[in-house]
Structure 1
Amino acid sequence: MVKTDSRVFQVTKVTGDDESSEMVEIRERSLTLVQATSLLLVEYVVLAILAFPWSYSILGMAGGIITTMIVAACTLYTSLILWRYCMRHPHIRDIADVAYELCGKSRIAWTAAFIGLALNNIFIMGLHVNAGTVAINTLGYTFCSALWGLIIGVIMYAGSLVRGFSKAEFAAAISAGTMLLCFFFVVIGHGIQDHPNGFINEMQTPTKWTVWAPEGTTFVQGISALLNIIYTFTGQALIPSFVGDMKNPEEFPTALYISMSVEVLLFTICGAVVYSTTGPLATTPGYGSLTGWFRYVAAALTLPTIIIVGMLYSLVTSRALFFQIFSEKSIHRRTHTVKGWGTWVGIVTAIWVLAYIIGEAIPFFSDLLSVISSLFGSWFGFIFWGSAYLKMNRGKPFRGLHAIESIIAVILIGVGIFILGVGTYASVQSIINSYATGSIKSPFSCSDNGF
């Protein structure tokens, strides 16, 4: 394995006619194990946890738990393949570099993956704009939802102007901590309250849960529920950026094991406990089925995570764009220059404008998760890593563990193709159904979208 040394770039600061010994530096490759673990947790312990109760209400209790375990195992395995691939190619800094290597140093593949990474992250940023308005309106609708989205977007934009991951450790701790508190409020609140929000009586609004998918569940609903779970686990697109910025990238699996253990525990408990008390009345986000002050507290606690995770995705996207403009040896990356900061601010501004447009133009939560999962999770969660394993082990005798892993790699590629094709169809059909039933607000609307 290759160990990448931490690089600290230094320059002499000149003032007037005299040289000062003061050093100005911008650190790259500086992430520690603790910081990498924190970033993984802030990436995964996010608002999408609260989509699990709705997914379980579609798949059933056993169906939801089994799906969660299978997707988690796939994510862990493919993430380790990605880490090994990054260690073999230490110059890789983002998902586009992975595609470039996988496709025989194809510039077309690099461009396609780079665009995919940017769009994936910008869509997620837009999702956070939308989720912010839902949370604020749940606390109490006061004025135009589209303006609330703008305010949330500006807050995330301002926090996205930093240029390094190492400064995000404290924010990551706040995000994961508040989301953990929200998790407890959602789980405990559903256990304490007599009935979920929207309950009338057991005849009109039954709250019983089922072992498998309840009768009447459609194919589109089932695929959408599956895609919601896949979305929450599929974060491999950011891993090359984390590995590439670590002091000791060989420590990354430890961070991965810790974060994955926490994820499986939280996701399963949230989905199972909330679904067991709400049945088909489960909502997405899950705090929508709470009543009284529990709903307000839970909605408020989602806001730090919404903002910080939105900033994290902005940082990854902006760095990827910035690194294509300036090489690693460029003075504009190594020091604080007007041109460097001007370019950085321009990039951050442009992607947040796009994110706001997406968040307001596509005003739904679950369906947007499904769209992101099918279009991007299919590649970044499955197809790439099955292909990466086959390429890394090309030429090995087809026997033993290699034979088993090769079969798994082919299955992963097949699953990714299925998600891309069938998942995209189901996502689009679900959007059409949502508009047809009037269950979502119109684009750029001032109407109340809270619970």
Structure 2
Amino acid sequence: MAMKKQRKGLGAIATATGYMIGLFKLRYPHVHNMADAGEILAGPIGREVLGGAQAVFLVFICGSHVLTGLIAFDTITAGASCSVLWAAVAAIVCLVLTLPRTLNGISYMSVVSFISIITAVLITMIGVSVAGHKGGVKASAEGLTFASAFLAVTDIIFAYAGHVGFFTFIAEMKEPKDFAKALYMLQIADTTLYLIVGVVVYAYAGAGTVSPALGNTGTLLRKVSYGIALPTILIAGVINGHVCAKLIFIRM
């Protein structure tokens, strides 16, 4: 219950802060990234600090998707090849798909990504429910350290981390004023998905729940889920890589 409230609360904060970013962009139309916003707020120092932070954050997000891609390929092939090889494959695929110079081309990939993740999580939820309740569900953890609790919170915050690319997204919209509509649709969809998947998987998998959630099913369904989720795993990294590359390109 506490986790559900936490997700709702962070979802509400993410919606409010996303809306503020939209208003900021409308007031300063020339802003294209966090560096531009930082310059308005704190001059040259703000530009360098926020621009550098955005670039580093986006690089690490891309890295997390390469890691998840490695896990997916390794799961699908049952460890048939070296993990470093799969990491290289995921990185190369992301690099190639990042080449389009505008988000217009990448936007079509997002449709594929959405269908991919919805299908994968449905398979996962069906899989854990068929396997039956494993017990061990607790409303609160015992002996929880500050580091573990903080990590749990940051995991949820990370799920709402799309804000880092909002300025770039709005800059390429035909009608920037429509950003609020897209934001509300996004927040309703992702918060609902996070709540339903989290509750169902944890209710059936119990204390043995692993992350990513796709790993909570049997061997066969795990391979199927990861196979279907591959477009999402790679495309999400592509979008963040594109935003990062555009930030560097504009600064140069």
TM-score, structure 1 as length reference: 0.54
Q: Does 1:155 align with 2:93?
A: yes
- Distance in 1, matches of 2:92 and 2:249, equals 21
- Give the equivalent residue in structure 1 for 2:41: 102
- Distance in 2, matches of 1:269 and 1:194, equals 17
Q: Does 1:283 align with 2:210?
A: yes
1:86-144 deviation line (CA, Å, top 9, x unaligned):
111111001111111111xx111101111111111110111111111111111111111
Name segments (4+ residues, structure 1) moved above 6 Å: none
State the Cα distance separating 1:292 from its structure 2 match. Answer: 3.6
Would you say the 8 A contact 1:208–1:276 is kept in 2? no
- Distance in 1, matches of 2:224 and 2:133, equals 18
State the Cα distance separating 1:289 from its structure 2 match. Answer: 1.8
- Distance in 2, matches of 1:261 and 1:194, equals 29
- Distance in 1, matches of 2:249 and 2:171, equals 15
Find 2:148's aligned residue among 213, 218, 221: 221
Larger relative contact order, structure 1 or 2 (CA cutoff 8 Å, min sep 6) = 2
1:195-226 deviation line (CA, Å, top 9, x unaligned):
66xxxxxxxxxx22122x22222222111111
Q: Does 1:208 align with 2:146?
A: no
Q: Does 1:135 align with 2:62?
A: no
Number of matched pairs: 251
State the Cα distance separating 1:69 from its structure 2 match. Answer: 0.4
Q: Normalized per residue, which structure has more helix?
A: 2
Q: Does 1:77 align with 2:22?
A: no
Would you say the 8 A contact 2:68–2:233 is kept in 1? yes
- Distance in 1, matches of 2:186 and 2:216, equals 28
- Distance in 1, matches of 2:57 and 2:120, equals 26
- Distance in 2, matches of 1:150 and 1:76, equals 35
State the Cα distance separating 1:295 from its structure 2 match. Answer: 1.1
Would you say the 8 A contact 2:114–2:232 is kept in 1? yes
Q: Normalized per residue, which structure has more strand?
A: 1
Which residues of structure 2 form unaligned runs of 5+? none
CA RMSD of aligned residues (A): 1.2
* Bigger Rg over Cα: 1
- Give the equivalent residue in structure 2 for 1:255: 182
TM-score, structure 2 as length reference: 0.96
- Distance in 1, matches of 2:24 and 2:107, equals 26
Q: Does 1:170 align with 2:118?
A: no
Which residues of structure 1 form unaligned runs of 5+? 1-61, 197-206, 326-451
- Distance in 1, matches of 2:32 and 2:4, equals 34
State the Cα distance separating 1:194 from its structure 2 match. Answer: 3.2
1:154-202 deviation line (CA, Å, top 9, x unaligned):
1111111110111112211001110110110111111111366xxxxxx
- Distance in 2, matches of 1:132 and 1:170, equals 20
- Distance in 2, matches of 1:293 and 1:194, equals 16
- Distance in 2, matches of 1:186 and 1:64, equals 20
State the Cα distance separating 1:313 from its structure 2 match. Answer: 0.9
State the Cα distance separating 1:277 from its structure 2 match. Answer: 0.8
Would you say the 8 A contact 2:132–2:204 is kept in 1? no
- Give the equivalent residue in structure 2 for 1:118: 55
- Distance in 2, matches of 1:262 and 1:124, equals 21
Say which SS state the counterpart of residue 235 (structure 1) adopts.
Answer: helix
The amino acid across from 1:230 in the alignment is I
State the Cα distance separating 1:273 from its structure 2 match. Answer: 0.6
